[in-house]
Amino acid sequence: MGDACIMSKIQWENSSLKDLGLGIEDGSVDPCELVEYFLRKIDMDEDRDTIFLNILNSRAKEEAKEAKARAKAGNRRSLYDGIPIAWKDNIDIKGESTSAGLPILAKNKATSNSDAFSLATEAGLICIGKTNMTELAFSGLGINPNYGTPVNPYSDDAPRVPGGSSSGSAISVAKGLCCAAIGTDTGGSIRTPAAWNRLVGLKTTAKLISTKGVVPLSQTLDTVGFLTKTVEDSAALLEIFSKIERVDLADLNCNGLNLLVCSNEVWNEIDPEVDEVMRCALEKLSQGGTKVRWEKIPEIGELLDLVNTYGHIVSYEGSKNWSKFLEENPGAISSDILARFHLGAKIKEDSIRHVYTVLEEIRGRYNIRTGRCNAVIMPAVSTVPPVIAELEADADLYSQQNFLSLRNTRLANLLGLCAISIPAGLTKAGFPVGFMLVSEPFSEENLLKVAAAVEKCITS
């Protein structure tokens, strides 16, 4: 397929998953052409090698042929059978390597599919490739010195971070190199890159989607989720991966919604332009009939104090999972990430046991306090994406910016909630801002309905 041919095609990356599925159903979209279209776009992208760690050309083409045959025979596996998506490279796909961002891990091929990939296969989704990520998923910035760092497409003169740890998954969708992408989120690894790349990022409730076959960082907090262009597409993927009934997002509006804006720590150290975009979005919601109530949520401050004093679950569990391996393989991981594992190793077992115990009590009070609203609102990230070179040159700046990149998002993980980041708009300098909605555990259907109504209101 030549350049002229690809440019004459409909821009399929801007089509919804539903519309693509219906097109395959009625024969107006050929899965083989669809895959060829995206493979050609990937090949034409000069940054493809930092976005994708493994482009599965032959596999994707063969899967497309099979999807086309099923469509012709009227034997499609789902509405989305034949649609190509990308996968974060910490999720096992049988016969392919799983690096989790480390070359040393890429030497071995997965012997079985992750549960998440098995569900995708059952629905007929096509795997177009595996995407770059932060080493062992342990940073919100997206820098990877081993494989290179995907550049944020909203960068100015200086290349800026993509957000992490699902960096390649986010950039692949933001640049239109696939229809959607699968990521993981332990403390913000889907929502942070979504916020910084003008995408929708859904973090599901822990245990809703099996993490079997996902390289672990924190077994307690790891989740599988999605990076898409719209809330509708996130709902489509949730249908596939959680086996819930299709979420009806038709005819939703923000009139009558009751939203609680957390007014305390999540707004600290916020970039003035990010603040302005958030407040503009909130004003649109108010004008559209939403009840927007600002309130301090004391449990947020208590939660931050708890983990800052006694230690973070991710650091503790991550260190338990990886410290021995990293000791036995010096140089396998960058010094910035290694330092985070070393900090985790210092957390005592009785301290983390205290965190688990107090956390349950905080969760209970938080859920009671916020139970009467449709969702809680926070800025997904309070800053704009930092400059890559500046972070690489300054370890202290890296640590500071990494903390801010995950400070707000990790609250939903610790509280056991589901959360979504949707685009709120652009700063005057042209950087995307993420509008985060948080809802009670296993309330994804409610969250998506609220998010779709908010998306419609603030982007109109």
Q: Where are the domains of the chain?
A: 3-242
Q: What pLDDT score was predicted for residue 203?
A: 98
Q: Is the pTM of this model over 0.85?
A: yes
Based on the residue annotation, tell me whether 41 is a catalytic residue of this protein. Answer: no
**Mean pLDDT value of segment 200-227:** 98
The contacts of residue 118 (CB under 8 Å, 6+ apart) are: none
The answer on pLDDT for 1 being more than 50 is no
Q: What pLDDT score was predicted for residue 245?
A: 80
Catalytic residue among 15, 99, 165, 405: 165
Q: Are 261 and 282 in contact (CB under 8 A)?
A: yes
Average pLDDT, the chain: 96
Residue burial 247-270, b: 16+ Cβ < 10 Å; e: rest: bebeebebeebebbbbebbbbeeb
- 10 — pLDDT class (breaks 50, 70, 90): low
Catalytic residue among 88, 130, 229, 284: 88
**Mean pLDDT value of segment 155-163:** 97
What is the number of residues in the chain? Answer: 460
Q: Are 271 and 383 in contact (CB under 8 A)?
A: yes
Q: What pLDDT score was predicted for residue 456?
A: 96
Based on the residue annotation, tell me whether 218 is a catalytic residue of this protein. Answer: no
DSSP-based three-state secondary structure for 85: strand
Half-sphere exposure (Cβ direction) of 342: Cα atoms closer than 13 Å = 8
DSSP-based three-state secondary structure for 377: strand
Q: Are 56 and 96 in contact (CB under 8 A)?
A: yes
Catalytic residue among 114, 189, 319, 439: 189
Which of the residue ranges 62-66, 152-156, 191-195, 240-244 would you say has the lowest mean pLDDT?
Answer: 240-244
DSSP-based three-state secondary structure for 210: coil
Report how far residue 216's alpha carbon sits from residue 114's, in angstroms, rounded to the nearest whole number: 12
At 264-280, the pLDDT tens digits run 999 999 999 999 999 99
At 388-429, the pLDDT tens digits run 999 999 999 999 999 999 999 999 999 999 999 999 999 999
The answer on pLDDT for 5 being more than 90 is no
**Mean pLDDT value of segment 167-182:** 98
At 308-327, the pLDDT tens digits run 999 999 999 999 999 999 99
- Per-residue CA distances from 383 to 132, 277, 432 (Å): 23, 12, 10
Q: Options 3.30.70.100, 3.30.420.10, 3.90.1300.10, 1.20.120.1730; which CATH number does 3-242 get? A: 3.90.1300.10
Based on the residue annotation, tell me whether 165 is a catalytic residue of this protein. Answer: yes
At 369-392, the pLDDT tens digits run 999 999 999 999 999 999 999 999
- 250 — pLDDT class (breaks 50, 70, 90): confident
Output DSSP code: residue 214: B
Q: What pLDDT score was predicted for residue 9?
A: 57
**Mean pLDDT value of segment 436-457:** 97
The contacts of residue 215 (CB under 8 Å, 6+ apart) are: 90, 91, 92, 98, 100, 105, 136, 137
Q: What pLDDT score was predicted for residue 4?
A: 39
DSSP-based three-state secondary structure for 243: coil
- 214 — pLDDT class (breaks 50, 70, 90): very high
DSSP labels, 256-278: T-EEEEE-SGGGTT--HHHHHHH
Residue burial 76-101, b: 16+ Cβ < 10 Å; e: rest: bbbbbbbbbbbbbbbbbbeebbbbbb
Q: What pLDDT score was predicted for residue 395?
A: 95
**Mean pLDDT value of segment 49-65:** 98
Distance of CA 400 to the CA centre of its chain: 21
Question: What is the percentage of the chain residues whose pLDDT exceeds 90?
Answer: 95
At 64-97, the pLDDT tens digits run 999 999 999 999 999 999 999 999 999 999 999 9
DSSP-based three-state secondary structure for 414: helix
**Mean pLDDT value of segment 331-353:** 96
Helix intervals (H) in 163-257: 167-174, 191-196, 231-242
At 98-149, the pLDDT tens digits run 999 999 999 999 999 999 999 999 999 999 999 999 999 999 999 999 999 9
Q: Are 297 and 370 in contact (CB under 8 A)?
A: yes
